[in-house]
Amino acid sequence: MARNPRYDVLFEPVKIGPVTAPNRFYAVPHASGMTNAMPHMRAAFRGTKAEGGWGVVCTGYVSIDPSSDDTPLPFATLWDEDDIRAHALMTDAVHKHGALAGIELWHGGGSVMNRASRIPPMSPSGTSWMATHVNFMGNQRPRVMDAHDIRSLLQWQSEAASKARRAGFDIVYVYAGMGYLPYEFLISEWNQRTDAYGGPVRNRVRIVRELLEVTRDAVAGRCAVALRISLEELRARPSEVAASEAHEVVELLADVPDLWDVKLDSSPTDCAPSRFAAEGSHEPVIDFVKKITRQPVVGVGRFTSPDSMVGQIRRGVLDLIGAARPSIADPFLPNKINEGREQDIRECIGCNICISSWHDSVPVRCTQNPTIGEEWRRGWHPERVAPAGSSAAVLVVGAGPAGLECALTLARRGYEVTLAEATDEIGGRLRFETRLPGLATWGRVLDWRRDQLQRLPNVNLYRGNRLAAEEILELGHTHVVIATGARWARMLYSTLEIPAGNLDAGNVYTPDDVAAGTHLEDPVAVFDFDNYYMGGALAEHLAKAGHQVAYVTPAGHVSAWVIMSNEQPQVHRALANAAVTVHTLSRVTAFEPGELRLANLFTGAETRLACKSLLIVGARFANDSLYQSLVARPDALAAAGIASVTRIGDALAPGALVHAVYSGHRYARELDANPSTLSFRRDAPLRSQAITAPEGINA
């Protein structure tokens, strides 16, 4: 199909200093969880984005010196010759498809703990980042940078920029954002210096200017020099000479960088979850930059709609459409727009499982795109699948996220697929969950798969079909996939921190009951030890529906795990706004309609709450009775010609959407595959020299 001419502007080349981006699609720097120990995975992951049409593809954060060490978080390094070779794999993979490669050079300053390098961290005035996120907490405080440290910083940036040039990068960054070292100089609380680098904005900006200058000298006209900067805090601060400190900074540096890459300051606002922020949420902070500089500006905002992208260009907000998450959810987003296939875009749902992967220190995972991070390791391409390995017919039972993904991928491979769903609507758990506050965007998981399935002739969908074992035996498909989901349990929480003790009292409910429309009598208590979104979302949902709601959790925060997905500050605010009372560090010990007893997790001190309905959001167990009844009858299976019965998704192991989609995809990829190809490849660092021990040490 031809491209819609309305989107032509997105495919215009953009000059960035000495290099030219072939279009306006810019995959901005973002952490991938792939360190220099995974150079082939990383190259294939970023190369796939270039293949999908992104005109610029950048690395994540790359340390310029061992004094910037974010261990155990997965950061990249550019410290030595081996690192150059590791990054060159990525630049080659990106260049192969005509895209530019960018590198985000990074020094963490007082926000890193240097746990592995054991070098004392440094910051402008000895101030450290006192994070409340346990991933970022530590006990090592930075020392105050002296004049020698400032010269060293400039030297490290210069050397790293030369290495970046040798590794084949086209765009080299100075990174003054997100609490890292150059940003620490910009913000007055971090920077209490009385020398030429502290005090008024023109002094605080000096180090950024000097970093840009040494970078420009080092790349010797061969690469563009980009400045990535966080502007949220600065924009909120008044200035005597400009509209805000952010305006003052941009005016002082206006045309010094070849490219402005503008963003917000903290992960929960910069990479805001869709539950609490819409597409384009950065605009009110960064909209002024293009009015000051003549250089191109790139910014993000979870853009998945080509019309929003065109709007950003036409309204003079951005020159390049930056994306981290949309390029993860669909590495082929630009090509799909170029080919007039916008409806094929697998839109990011804003769940931030990708970010949680970085917090977990593992390669990036995505709810929408199960192939991300698996391009090299498992050889999964986001747009191509191997043809069917046989003419076998496959029955998939259950049309939740796992069953839908499985049926879709099997059908793309060319299998004859029957998809049976018990209810009248497909979508499984999404049918209810997308009606909870802020979760509508997650419906894209269902919408995209429904739309793709409808266009494939080899899938037969039967709704309102609750299959029993006998019927499955009669149907006699060669392979049967059980994707029947999971159910929540009415179990309490033991001091061993495991679910224990079924609560059989009246008025005890689970999310399945709320989904089924059961009425809850007030006051309601939500007891959450699942710790993901469900407990918090249900508490907010019930409160907004007019219920009087208390939220109880053994954890220290509401929805404790969602600190990993950048949702926690907003969940706390949402519950406060909905007048939900919160009881943390508390365990339910007894309930009878009228009274709920809680014990403090550590002291055992008892609290009693007036409560008529207890909603437990805790343990989940697989709905696998259908599976069990089939595998218990091997002779009947053989007689029916059924060669395999396999559980996937929640019916195998209850998890988040990301796990269900991955599980369904993996089954479909691996059906009839040669068993020797099924284990994933293990990546390893590149090493040019044998590792030798220092003298006197036995290696």
Positions annotated as catalytic residues are 180
Q: Is residue 611 close enough to count as binding ligand SF4 by CB under 6 A?
A: no
The length of the chain is 699
Question: Binding segment for ligand SF4 among 105-113, 204-212, 350-358, 661-669 (CB under 6 A)?
Answer: 350-358
Determine the distance from the C-alpha atom of residue 200 to the mean position of all C-alpha atoms in its chain, rounded to a whole number. 37
Quick check: bond before 72 cis, omega within 30? Answer: yes
Q: Is residue 325 close enough to count as binding ligand SF4 by CB under 6 A?
A: yes
Between 247 and 325, whose beta carbon lies closer to ligand SF4? 325
| Closest CB 635 distance from ligand ADP, rounded Å | 22
* Residue 143: φ, ψ to 5°: -95, 165
Question: Binding segment for ligand SF4 among 181-189, 321-329, 475-483, 484-492 (CB under 6 A)?
Answer: 321-329
Alpha-carbon distance values, 79 to 70, 176, 607, 639 (Å): 14, 20, 56, 63
Q: Is 33 left (phi over 0), alpha (psi -120 to 50) or beta?
A: left
Q: Is residue 350 close enough to count as binding ligand SF4 by CB under 6 A?
A: yes
Using alpha carbons, select from 379, 411, 369 the residue that is nearest to residue 394: 411
User: Would you tell me how many other CB atoms lie within 10 Å of the CB of residue 8?
Assistant: 11
Token pair for 346: 């697998």
Between 110 and 664, whose beta carbon lies closer to ligand SF4? 664
Token pair for 276: 């609490």
Helices (H), ranges, 22-180: 39-51, 81-95, 147-166
Q: Report yes or no: 565 and 276 within 8 Å, Cβ to Cβ.
A: no
Q: Is residue 300 close enough to count as binding ligand SF4 by CB under 6 A?
A: no
| Closest CB 367 distance from ligand SF4, rounded Å | 4
Between 125 and 452, whose beta carbon lies closer to ligand ADP? 452
**Residue 146 contacts by C-beta under 8 Å, 6 or more apart in sequence?**
none
| Closest CB 23 distance from ligand SF4, rounded Å | 21
Between 150 and 328, whose beta carbon lies closer to ligand SF4? 328
Between 63 and 335, whose beta carbon lies closer to ligand SF4? 335
Q: Report yes or no: 316 and 338 within 8 Å, Cβ to Cβ.
A: no
User: Of ligand SF4, ligand ADP, none, which one does residue 686 interact with (CB within 5 to 8 Å by kind)?
Assistant: none
Q: Is 273 helix (H, G, I), strand (E, B) or coil?
A: coil
What's the CA angle centered on 181, arms 176 and 186, to 5 degrees? 60
User: Of ligand SF4, ligand ADP, none, which one does residue 325 interact with (CB within 5 to 8 Å by kind)?
Assistant: ligand SF4
Q: Provide the pairing of β-strand 19-21 with 14-16.
A: antiparallel
Residue among 23, 68, 111, 367 that touches ligand SF4 (CB under 6 A): 367
Between 179 and 331, whose beta carbon lies closer to ligand SF4? 331
Residue among 328, 617, 645, 651 that touches ligand SF4 (CB under 6 A): 328
User: Of ligand SF4, ligand ADP, none, which one does residue 531 interact with (CB within 5 to 8 Å by kind)?
Assistant: none
Q: Is residue 351 close enough to count as binding ligand SF4 by CB under 6 A?
A: yes
Q: Is residue 191 close enough to count as binding ligand SF4 by CB under 6 A?
A: no
Token pair for 434: 């997308």
Between 286 and 354, whose beta carbon lies closer to ligand SF4? 354
| CA–CA distance, 211 with 214 (Å, rounded to integer) | 5
Q: Report yes or no: 333 and 298 within 8 Å, Cβ to Cβ.
A: no
User: Of ligand SF4, ligand ADP, none, which one does residue 161 interact with (CB within 5 to 8 Å by kind)?
Assistant: none
User: Of ligand SF4, ligand ADP, none, which one does residue 399 interact with (CB within 5 to 8 Å by kind)?
Assistant: ligand ADP
Q: Is residue 28 close enough to count as binding ligand SF4 by CB under 6 A?
A: no
| Closest CB 470 distance from ligand ADP, rounded Å | 12
Q: Is residue 353 close enough to count as binding ligand SF4 by CB under 6 A?
A: yes
Q: Which helix (H) or strand (E) holds 95?
A: helix 81-95
User: Of ligand ADP, ligand SF4, none, which one does residue 367 interact with (CB within 5 to 8 Å by kind)?
Assistant: ligand SF4
Q: Report yes or no: 428 and 403 within 8 Å, Cβ to Cβ.
A: yes
| CA–CA distance, 250 with 273 (Å, rounded to integer) | 28
**Residue 636 contacts by C-beta under 8 Å, 6 or more apart in sequence?**
473
Q: Is residue 354 close enough to count as binding ligand SF4 by CB under 6 A?
A: yes
Using alpha carbons, select from 332, 297, 313, 302 the residue that is nearest to residue 9: 313
User: Of ligand ADP, ligand SF4, none, which one does residue 145 interact with (CB within 5 to 8 Å by kind)?
Assistant: none
User: Would you tell me how many other CB atoms lie within 10 Å of the CB of residue 316?
Assistant: 11
User: Of ligand SF4, ligand ADP, none, which one does residue 382 interact with (CB within 5 to 8 Å by kind)?
Assistant: none
| Closest CB 303 distance from ligand SF4, rounded Å | 12
User: Of ligand SF4, ligand ADP, none, which one does residue 466 interact with (CB within 5 to 8 Å by kind)?
Assistant: ligand ADP
| Closest CB 561 distance from ligand ADP, rounded Å | 18
| Closest CB 48 distance from ligand ADP, rounded Å | 26
Quick check: bond before 523 cis, omega within 30? Answer: yes
Q: In the stretch 32-51, what mask flags binding to ligand SF4 with x, by CB under 6 A?
A: --------------------
Q: Is residue 640 close enough to count as binding ligand SF4 by CB under 6 A?
A: no
User: Would you tell me how many other CB atoms lie within 10 Å of the CB of residue 266?
Assistant: 17
| CA–CA distance, 264 with 368 (Å, rounded to integer) | 25
Between 317 and 483, whose beta carbon lies closer to ligand ADP? 483
**Residue 653 contacts by C-beta under 8 Å, 6 or more apart in sequence?**
622, 659, 663
User: Of ligand ADP, ligand SF4, none, which one does residue 348 interact with (CB within 5 to 8 Å by kind)?
Assistant: ligand SF4
Q: Is residue 657 close enough to count as binding ligand SF4 by CB under 6 A?
A: no
Q: Is residue 352 close enough to count as binding ligand SF4 by CB under 6 A?
A: yes
Residue among 329, 404, 537, 543 that touches ligand SF4 (CB under 6 A): 329
| Strands (E) located in 46-201 | 56-63, 76-77, 100-106, 122-123, 143-144, 171-176
Q: Which residues bind ligand ADP (CB under 6 A)?
A: 397-403, 420-423, 428-429, 465-467, 483-485, 623, 626, 649-651, 660
| CA–CA distance, 524 with 540 (Å, rounded to integer) | 12
| CA–CA distance, 184 with 123 (Å, rounded to integer) | 7
| Closest CB 78 distance from ligand ADP, rounded Å | 41
Between 64 and 397, whose beta carbon lies closer to ligand ADP? 397
Token pair for 630: 């089939």
| Closest CB 349 distance from ligand SF4, rounded Å | 4
Q: Is residue 349 close enough to count as binding ligand SF4 by CB under 6 A?
A: yes
Burial class from Cβ neighbours inside 10 Å (0-12, 13-18, 19+) for residue 570 reads: buried
Residue among 214, 348, 396, 614 that touches ligand SF4 (CB under 6 A): 348
User: Of ligand ADP, ligand SF4, none, which one does residue 366 interact with (CB within 5 to 8 Å by kind)?
Assistant: ligand SF4
User: Of ligand SF4, ligand ADP, none, which one does residue 231 interact with (CB within 5 to 8 Å by kind)?
Assistant: none
Q: Is residue 368 close enough to count as binding ligand SF4 by CB under 6 A?
A: yes
Q: Report yes or no: 290 and 272 within 8 Å, Cβ to Cβ.
A: no
Between 39 and 326, whose beta carbon lies closer to ligand SF4? 326
Between 33 and 198, whose beta carbon lies closer to ligand SF4? 33
Determine the distance from the C-alpha atom of residue 25 to the mean position of all C-alpha atoms in its chain, rounded to a whole number. 19
Question: Binding segment for ligand SF4 among 82-90, 152-160, 365-373, 538-546 (CB under 6 A)?
Answer: 365-373
Between 305 and 460, whose beta carbon lies closer to ligand ADP? 460
Token pair for 697: 């040490």
Using alpha carbons, select from 579, 597, 580 the residue that is nearest to residue 588: 597
| CA–CA distance, 5 with 27 (Å, rounded to integer) | 23
Give the interface with ligand SF4 as residue ranges (CB under 6 A): 325, 328-329, 348-354, 366-368
